[in-house]
Homo-oligomer: A and B are copies of this chain.
Amino acid sequence: MSAGLTERRQAILKLVIQEFVETACPVASETLVRKYRLNVSPATVRNELAALEELGYLTHLHTSAGRVPTDAGYRFFVENLMERTALPLAEQRTIRHQFYQVRGELDQWIQLAGAVLARTTQNASLVTPPRSAEPLRFRSLELIAIHDTMALAVLVFHGGIVKQQTVTLDAVRSAEELRRAAARLSDYLADQTLSGIEETLARPPEQQTLMLSDFERGLVEMLVRAMQTFEEQSREQIHSDGLIEMLSQPEFIPALVREDAERAVERLRRALEILKSGRGLGTLIPQVLASDGVQVIIGGENSADEMREYSVVLARYGVENAIAGVLGVIGPTRMAYPRSISTVRYISSLMSDLLAELYNVESRISEGEALEE
């Protein structure tokens, strides 16, 4: 047929996608004409739809069932047709207020970000904790007595990263003993990375600048172990939320999708595995960490077969040259991309602001409008 993506065809493509995203039903030529009051006949639309199909932006499930967008169709929509709106101000305000309620607690920010993303997009969300690209660099150790024989070790790393770990002691230790041991070790190992610490410890006795007591040696071992597991964990950790929200999408309701019903469950299992373990996301997270702006991955565009039915909208958040994480939304390819994108953009910039505040100077403990712009 005739080549070229004329204006009118683009307009029709846009309508098809909007309609399909809204209703989840294949869209027919007549529906378009009626619902959007087009000044042409269904037959004309049909011709255009056929052209769009030939161009690869739409498909047919079978002869005679409306058109459905392909991945390429969504891609074109996201790239060229979509209006880039920001999240409504009222909604922004509500969200900001919720974050304000839990100020000072990174874990809660992460959880809240996930919840908000899920709720406003009606899809599942994922958030990775912010992390420095650098290896962990030890800064100081504090030991806080909790019991006679139990203490809390608080490991502080450069970049404001903190890890706590309970330690059972080999004997009753006074607070003073704890303080001294912590100070000695903080001094001894300050500013070193995990491998640096291991090197220091491996030096022959005559090169050691400090003789460690058995107690202190035990603490260092704990420290090393904690750093190891911490680095491993934070590399992979993904928080997710919004399963229930995503489950309310018609794709997961067998009766609505006229379809195997088996596939609905299979689809769900896949989503669960992606959300739980990140399997299927492949190298996406590092990629997003290395790029700016909101990234949209539609269907099987970028990764394994497992993701073929899902789209992902991700963005980096964090503080330049210090710390960064990824957050975003995952759901069926039939997704309200404009809304997802604007939500992800807003939440990521909000999280970035919050983190920046933690890292900067102007904020204060004494309440107030810390989070207002």
Contact = CB atoms under 8 A, between A and B. Distances in A.
Contact of A160 (B146, B218, B265): B146
A152 to B, nearest CB: 5
A265 B254 contact: yes
A272 B254 contact: no
Q: How big is the A interface, by class?
A: 35 or more
A55 interface: no
A276 B358 CA distance: 30
A90 interface: no
Most chain B CB neighbours (cut-off 10 Å) among A146, A215, A247: A146
Contacts of A162: 144, 146, 152, 164, 166
**Taking the full assembly, how many copies of this chain does it contain?**
2
A155 to B, nearest CB: 10
Contacts of A147: 160, 358-359
A149 B360 CA distance: 7
B150 A160 contact: yes
A154 B154 contact: yes
Contacts of A252: 265
Interface in A202-255: 214-215, 218-219, 221-222, 229, 243-244, 247-248, 252-255
Interface in A336-373: 357-361, 363-367, 370
Contact of A254 (B247, B261, B269): B261
Nearest to A157: B146
B365 A165 contact: no
A268 interface: yes
A125 to B, nearest CB: 13
A246 to B, nearest CB: 10
A185 interface: no
A104 B106 CA distance: 22
Contact of A261 (B106, B167, B255, B269): B255
A80 to B, nearest CB: 36
A265 B276 CA distance: 20
A211 to B, nearest CB: 17
Interface of A: 102, 104-106, 139-140, 142, 144, 146-150, 152, 154, 156, 160, 162, 164-170, 214-215, 218-219, 221-222, 229, 243-244, 247-248, 252-255, 261-262, 264-265, 268-269, 272-273, 276, 357-361, 363-367, 370
Given A149-B361, A154-B164, 12 more contacts: A104-B168, A144-B162, A154-B154, A169-B364, A214-B366, A218-B367, A244-B272, A247-B265, A248-B269, A254-B264, A255-B261, A261-B264
